[in-house]
C-alpha cells in the first residue's frame, strides 16, 4: 500500500497515527499510547491502543489489523470462497500470521486442516501477546503454523488444498515473492481439482495496476475468476478488492445456503446479500477488468 505511519504527540496521553499513502492521503487515528514496538528481520512491528479501534497492529508502517472493525476484511477474504466451494476441507492461508482469516476459516465444521504460512514469526508472537480474540485459532488442533516465505512453501511442499487464501497485506513489503508471475502458477498447482484461490488485490483506486496484473496472471491458469470489493474504514481510500479464481469453469457459481446458515450468526459484516453485491462493481473498477 506504500503507506507510512507518522506519529505526533499532542499531549502526554494522546498520539495521532497518520497512515498515509505516498504522503498524500490516508487515515488519521487518535491513540492513547504505544503498547509495543519491535523489529524483526523483515519489518517494524507496532501495536497502539486507540480510542476508536481498540488495539491496532501496524507492520512496516501499514495498519493491517484492528481489534475493533477488522471483520469486513477477514470475513470478505474468507467467506465468499468458503461458501462457493463444494466441500472445503483443507485450507492454506499465505501470510496469515495475524490470525484474522484463520479465525473465520475455523468456524466451518467441514474444515479438517488449515496450514498458516507466515514469513515473520514475530507477527504471530505479537498477536498471541496482545490480540486475545485471534489467539485461540493457533491452538486449534486443525491448525498448523509454518514460519516460511509463502512462495518457498508452495514451491517445496507437495501438499494440495481445496482453498488457498493469499492474505498479502502489503504489496511491495517483505513478501514480494508473492507478487511474481510464477507464484500464481504455484498456487494453481497446489489446488485440488475443485480448488479455489483468493488473492487480496489492494485498493482498486490507488493500485489499479496491481489488480490488473493479478487478473492477467490468473487468466491463463484458472478456468474462472471474478473480482469483488469490500468497503473498509481503515483501508486506504476505504476500499479493498479481492480476486477469487477457480480451477473448474463453474467453480464460482454455487452458494451453499446450508453452510452459510451454520456460520451466519457469528458474522458481523458478510451475509448472502453482501455476497451478491460484492461482485457488482462500479463502472470505474469494471474498466480495470477489461482486457
Q: What SS3 string covers the chain?
A: CCEEEEEEEEECCEEEEEEEECCCEEEEEEEEEEEEEEECCCCEEEEEEECCCEEEEEECCEEEEECCCCHHHHHHHHHHHHHHCCCCCEEEEECCCCCHHHHHHCCCCCCCEEEEEECCHHHHHHHHHHCHHHCHHHHCCCEEEEECCHHHHHHHCCCCEEEEEECCCCCCCCCHHHHCHHHHHHHHHCEEEEEEEEEECCCCCCCHHHHHHHHHHHHCCCCEEEEEEEECCCCHHHEEEEEEEECCCCCCCCCCHHHHHHHHHHCCCCCHHHHHHHCCCCHHHHHHHCC
21 has a pLDDT exceeding 90: no
Q: What is the pLDDT of residues 34-65, one digit of tens each?
A: 999 999 999 999 999 999 999 999 998 888 89
pLDDT of residue 1: 45
Domains of the chain in start order, with CATH, are 3-66 (2.30.140.10), 71-289 (3.40.50.150)
pLDDT at 104 over 60: yes
Cα–Cα distances in Å, from 8 out to 14, 18, 240? 9, 9, 27
Residues 155-176 pLDDT 10s: 999 999 999 999 975 545 555 5
Catalytic machinery residues? 167
Judge contact between 231 and 269, C-beta under 8 A. Answer: no
Average pLDDT along the chain: 90
Residues 228-253 have pLDDT tens digits of: 999 988 887 789 999 999 999 999 99
Amino acid at each position: 500500500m506504500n503507506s507510512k505511519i507518522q506519529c505526533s504527540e499532542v499531549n502526554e496521553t494522546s498520539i495521532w497515527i497518520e497512515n498515509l499513502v505516498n504522503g498524500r492521503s490516508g487515515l488519521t487515528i487518535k491513540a492513547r499510547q504505544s503498547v509495543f514496538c519491535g523489529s524483526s528481520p523483515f519489518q517494524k512491528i507496532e501495536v497502539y491502543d486507540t480510542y476508536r479501534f481498540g488495539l491496532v497492529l501496524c507492520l512496516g508502517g501499514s495498519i493491517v489489523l484492528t481489534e475493533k472493525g477488522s471483520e469486513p476484511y477477514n470475513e470478505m477474504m474468507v467467506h465468499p470462497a468458503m461458501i462457493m466451494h463444494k466441500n472445503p476441507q483443507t485450507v492454506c492461508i499465505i501470510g496469515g500470521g495475524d490470525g484474522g482469516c484463520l479465525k473465520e476459516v475455523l468456524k466451518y465444521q467441514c474444515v479438517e486442516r488449515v496450514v498458516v504460512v507466515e514469513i515473520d514469526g514475530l507477527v504471530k508472537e505479537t498477536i498471541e501477546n496482545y490480540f486475545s480474540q485471534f489467539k485461540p485459532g493457533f491452538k486449534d488442533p486443525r491448525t498448523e503454523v509454518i514460519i516460511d516465505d509463502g512462495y518457498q512453501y508452495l514451491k517445496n511442499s507437495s501438499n494440495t488444498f481445496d482453498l488457498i487464501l493469499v492474505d498479502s497485506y502489503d504489496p511491495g513489503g517483505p513478501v514480494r515473492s508473492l507478487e511474481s508471475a510464477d507464484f500464481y502458477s504455484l498456487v494453481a498447482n497446489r489446488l485440488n481439482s475443485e480448488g479455489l484461490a483468493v488473492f487480496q488485490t489492494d485498493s482498486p483506486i490507488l493500485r489499479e495496476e496491481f489488480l490488473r496484473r493479478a487478473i492477467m496472471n490468473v487468466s491463463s491458469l484458472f478456468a474462472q475468476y471474478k473480482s469483488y470489493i469490500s468497503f473498509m474504514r481503515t483501508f486506504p481510500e476505504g476500499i479493498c478488492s479481492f480476486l477469487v479464481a477457480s480451477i473448474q469453469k463453474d467453480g464460482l457459481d454455487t452458494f451453499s445456503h446450508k453452510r452459510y446458515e451454520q456460520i451466519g450468526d457469528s458474522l458481523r459484516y458478510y451475509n448472502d446479500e453482501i455476497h451478491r453485491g460484492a461482485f457488482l462493481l462500479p463502472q470505474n473498477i469494471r474498466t480495470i477488468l477489461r482486457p
